[in-house]
Structure 1
Amino acid sequence: MKNITFYKDGKSNFVIIQPQSPTLQEEDAVQLLKEEIQKVCSIILPVQSDNTALQHHEIIIGNCPNRNTVFSSTIPLAHDEFYLFNKDSKIYINGNGRGLILGVSYFLENYLKVKKLTVTGRDSVAPEEHYNIKPLYEVYITKFSFNIQKPAFSYRWVVSQEAYSKNYSNFNKLSYWDIEQGQPAELEDSGESVHNLTRLFGYDTHYSTNPEYYPQINGNRTAELMTFYQCHRAPCLSQNGVFEIVKSALQAKMNAKPDKHIWNLSQPDGMTDYCQCSECAPKHAQSGGFSNTLFPFINRMAKEFPDKIIKTLSYVVSDNVHTVETEYPGGGTLQAGKVESNVMIMYCPTINNKIRSIASSNEPIAVAYRNALTKWSQSGGKLYIWEYLVNFAYFLFPFPTLHILQENLRYYKSLGINSFFAQSTSTEDSALRGLNTYAYARLLWNPDDDLEGIIADFCKNYYGNAYKEMFLFITSLLRYAQQDDSEVWESMGYTGSMIKHANPNIAVEDTTLFSIKHLKEFYSYINIALTKVPLGSTEWKAIKREEICLKQVEVEASCKYSNPKNQIDFHQGFSDYFKRFGGGNYGNTEEGMLKNRCYDLKDSCLSADSEIKINESRNATSYVTDVICGYGYQP
């Protein structure tokens, strides 16, 4: 098949055709196509209406009945689906709603080589987009037959700064998060954020009049941990008065936002205990635990609002399926383990080993999660996965999970799961954040895509001339993560939770990701990569961020293995390795080498374009002070 000449010698014969009365989505799609072609080819294609005379070279966007005569009937498209085809030097692109934008983005990426990989910025500020535009001097479109694109998951959310960019989300086919609204824009259509049950109930405001509405803890009804400022408990869900208060509050919210279809109703975050009154305790004592009062409560609420989806969490204290019936006040029951058809269950695997696949791991927690997911998939509701991509105490620690993503996604699809939420950090302060967002976006669209090809594609377009070294660095991380058996890689651990993944013992150096052997290899890739890009360039800064992550690994591990006061874990080999950066302002003693490394980490974090933090609430300055003081030294 002969290629179509799209652009040559500074000109193009193509025009863009839009509907006679275009929708907002169609207008946006045309504008995106026009702007990106101008950036790449330095030309402005004319835009004409469907009611104009036919021309030989056209890009036909959206529903243009005068042009779309190839098919005898409308092609049915579901959420975010789109199609492309060309015939007789005409290119047709159409999609369902935002699917049209995704179709245009797909065309630009695959035929004009427009890549959009990452953004900068912070989670309360509109993201700054810095895309490398590569001018093209000739563009030929390979003739292609009908190509319909359907996402494996209808909702594909990643919490990261990239996902706050509509442009990035369009090109990488992510569901888009509206940074001002703090929720997916026009996609999920949710009227409330998560962890809102106690908020809707009214926190501690009913305690003086109705103490029975509050959980019984250690024999007493209490409103502790149920305040606006600290909310980690739910009310007593066996009390009908609690149900009526929450229902009334939810109804008021719905009345204020009648266009919203999905409504969260989920437990507070950080729950560790719950009501043990005479009605709740017998239910909570069964294997379902807190689920045995939560899900009957949710079922009753869903019954009250049959035209809405009630979305709730299966999370920590509620990750087991309920083992009690739902009894409805007006009569009738729903058997244990079942939910109303308009209930959406957000299942959150929290304490499993994140470098082992839930789909195939024989670890007890993975087996338990599979059993729960199977039961939830048979519950009659809609199932949704909420996954975690970082350790929330240590954003900077490399947290390699990509090697098990495809297997997990295929497993979730086999259960009929159609929605996926990946929680990273919306700041710059996590290792390989850009790659994680990019790879998750691609694999959520198509879990059978080539992961190694995705990583290579990212490296070539993000790290410039250093792409080979960064590709080796990343793939080595993933390979060694597969070999790591240093206990569970968890997301929710706190201080010290990541130290166990470093090991100075040469005899077992391949069993931990951060052995001395592996750290040396990682640094070798980083050091060479930094020499291959201009000092201070965007690529150089991106590589330096990954170097900073390795620096924190070393500082943290030194607390255990290089501290002579720790007589149990002190290891001379690691201490000697750590001293290779000695000779700085503080000399090469144990105290001096620690301070040299700590202050080097702090200076690196502070000198970044946006200060790099250790986690959501801790900056490098306070962290370094704590480390040095923990050694018994003065900062």
Structure 2
Amino acid sequence: MHSATELQYYLEKISGINIPVITADDQTEANHGIFIGTTPGNELSNTHTVFYKVEGENLIIGGGSSKSVLYSVYSFLENELGCMWLSPDAEIIPGSDKVSIRADLDYEYTPEIEIRTVHSKLFYENHDFADKLKVTYEAFPGYVSEARVHTFHRFMPASSFYGEYPEYYALRDGKRLTTQLCLTNPDVLEIVIDSVAAYFKRHPESGIVSVSQNDNILHCQCDDCKAIDEEEGSASGTMIRFVNQVAEQFPDKTISTLAYQYTRKPCKTRPADNVLVTLCSIECDRSKPIEQDCIDFTSDLRGWKELTDNIRIWDYTTQFTNFLAPFPNIHTLGPNIRFFRDNNARWIFEQHSNNPSELFELRSYLTAKLLWIPDSNSDDIIHEFCKAYYKEAGEYIEDYITAIHEEIVKIPDFFLFLYGDPSQGFDSFLSPEMLNYYNNLF
């Protein structure tokens, strides 16, 4: 019903005409209609597919799920009637005395990236806007809220176990440390399985728990762990073998884990079908497309592609040390998303600043658009947004974006780091001359 009332609302804004919403039982053959939802003969096997089409004298708008039906409504309004949703409080709804569509209208699209997240409060705090841009309402949809990432310490807190059972923890240089768990200890496996079961029991509405390393690189190097990692060619070997054993106990759930820092390099063991591997690009240079410049990450992602179709990318698009400072990486967003898509990433989490940052609305919009249709042209999206959102200032915003990105590429070995500092750019895109140029634009 929400999909129908949304279409009703926007058609009235466009034309001034209120079209009644009725159920299929009240529809008569004498009335032409707009049918919204899954109807007999229009069932879809892919829950993410959106479509709309003209059949005879009727318009059919449907999808593989209730969410996809809603996305189909917004796709129709955008593609066919020119609506634009730029931010939670800015939209373009063109008025018209007559709304017409082609008699041969037939649109269908299945997004290759099935779960799309932009880490922006514009979406997290405005769910209607998130729906219009076809992204999630939260960073970890479907996850148990207390078990989203870096969970070893949650399953086995050192305060509860280390004193009596130090062998449950990582061996480093002859000493047991609480940094990570010993993944070849059978008691550790049993305790983690019990913990995961308890989380699912407390949160039956959730389908995913993360079984993942703590946020440090001091993993276990006991003889048993070391032997597996050497056999597997990576420290991800002990991780995937361990996680697979956990996942075996929960065949109807998903167990997520990390390919991050010391576990990023792929192993030889295939992740189980219900294991979601989250690959993190934290080390990469942000001034160039990852495939072009971040050779190790590129190799690792391609390696994981050979092992699993269940890949989640955790990518980073901002500078954490100064969200408001210029960060010229916009030209890399499209190439990176396409690279992820081409290597089995069906879930992408783009970690932006969440809170307002440089060109916050534009970046949120652009990233969402690219996640929905990765082969879109970034320049076209930027131009359309700047013209519609910034209006008379739009051309100067575009000039600024062009200038700052042209400046950084003049230094081929520039490393734009997400934990860097604006001072990195003082001899490049933030030089006195460039700052003067930007100031003159505005």
- Normalization by structure 2: what TM-score? 0.90
Q: Distance between the aligned counterparts of 1:444 and 1:318, measured in 2? A: 26
Q: Deviations over 1:524-550 (max 9, x none)?
A: 22x2xxxxxxxxxxxxxxxxxxxxxxx
Alignment of 1:92-491 (within 5 A): 92-97=60-65, 98-118=67-87, 129-132=88-91, 134=93, 136-143=95-102, 144-164=104-124, 165-174=126-135, 176-178=136-138, 183-184=140-141, 188=142, 192-223=147-178, 233-269=179-215, 271-281=216-226, 288=233, 290-322=235-267, 336-361=268-293, 366-380=294-308, 382-428=310-356, 430-485=357-412, 487-491=414-418
In structure 2, what is the equivalent of residue 45 of structure 1? 19
Structure 1 residues 59 and 155, CA, compared in 2 at 3 Å: closer, same or farther?
A: same
1:501 pairs, out of 425, 434, 441, with 425
Q: Distance between the aligned counterparts of 2:93 and 2:250, measured in 1? A: 52
Contact conserved, 1:337 with 1:375, CA < 8 A, in 2?
Answer: no
Alignment of 1:527-606 (within 5 A): 527=442
1:293 partner letter? T
Per the alignment, in what secondary structure is the counterpart of residue 418 of structure 1?
strand
1:177 partner letter? Y
Q: Deviations over 1:545-590 (max 9, x none)?
A: xxxxxxxxxxxxxxxxxxxxxxxxxxxxxxxxxxxxxxxxxxxxxx
Q: Distance between the aligned counterparts of 1:111 and 1:28, measured in 2? A: 20
CA deviation after TM superposition for structure 1 residue 310, in Å:
1.3
Q: Distance between the aligned counterparts of 2:295 and 2:239, measured in 1? A: 23
2:29 aligned with 1:54:
yes
Structure 1 vs Structure 2 CA RMSD: 2.5
Q: Distance between the aligned counterparts of 1:170 and 1:515, measured in 2? A: 40
CA deviation after TM superposition for structure 1 residue 403, in Å:
1.5
Contact conserved, 2:256 with 2:278, CA < 8 A, in 1?
Answer: yes
Per the alignment, in what secondary structure is the counterpart of residue 204 of structure 1?
helix
Provide structure 1 residue ranges, at least 5 long, that are not aligned to the other structure: 1-26, 66-72, 119-128, 224-232, 323-335, 504-511, 528-635
Per the alignment, in what secondary structure is the counterpart of residue 279 of structure 1?
helix
2:214 partner letter? P
Count of residues in Structure 1 that have an aligned counterpart in Structure 2:
437
Q: Distance between the aligned counterparts of 2:440 and 2:32, measured in 1? A: 52
Identity of aligned residues (%): 26
Q: Kindly name which structure, 1 or 2, has the bigger radius of gyration based on alpha carbons.
A: 1
2:71 partner letter? L
1:379 partner letter? L
Per the alignment, in what secondary structure is the counterpart of residue 312 of structure 1?
strand
Q: Distance between the aligned counterparts of 2:30 and 2:380, measured in 1? A: 39
Per the alignment, in what secondary structure is the counterpart of residue 464 of structure 1?
helix
CA deviation after TM superposition for structure 1 residue 407, in Å:
2.5
1:76 pairs, out of 26, 44, 58, with 44
Q: Deviations over 1:308-360 (max 9, x none)?
A: 221111111211123xxxxxxxxxxxxx3422222211111111111211223
Q: Deviations over 1:215-261 (max 9, x none)?
A: 234432244xxxxxxxxx22222221111111101011122334433
1:140 partner letter? V
CA deviation after TM superposition for structure 1 residue 49, in Å:
2.3
1:517 partner letter? E
CA deviation after TM superposition for structure 1 residue 397, in Å:
2.0
Q: Distance between the aligned counterparts of 1:193 and 1:471, measured in 2? A: 38
CA deviation after TM superposition for structure 1 residue 461, in Å:
1.9
Q: Deviations over 1:158-186 (max 9, x none)?
A: 11112212211221122x224xxx632xx
CA deviation after TM superposition for structure 1 residue 101, in Å:
0.3
CA deviation after TM superposition for structure 1 residue 189, in Å:
5.8
Structure 1 residues 456 and 393, CA, compared in 2 at 3 Å: closer, same or farther?
A: same
1:93 partner letter? I
Contact conserved, 2:309 with 2:344, CA < 8 A, in 1?
Answer: no
Per the alignment, in what secondary structure is the counterpart of residue 217 of structure 2?
coil
2:290 partner letter? I
Per the alignment, in what secondary structure is the counterpart of residue 177 of structure 1?
coil
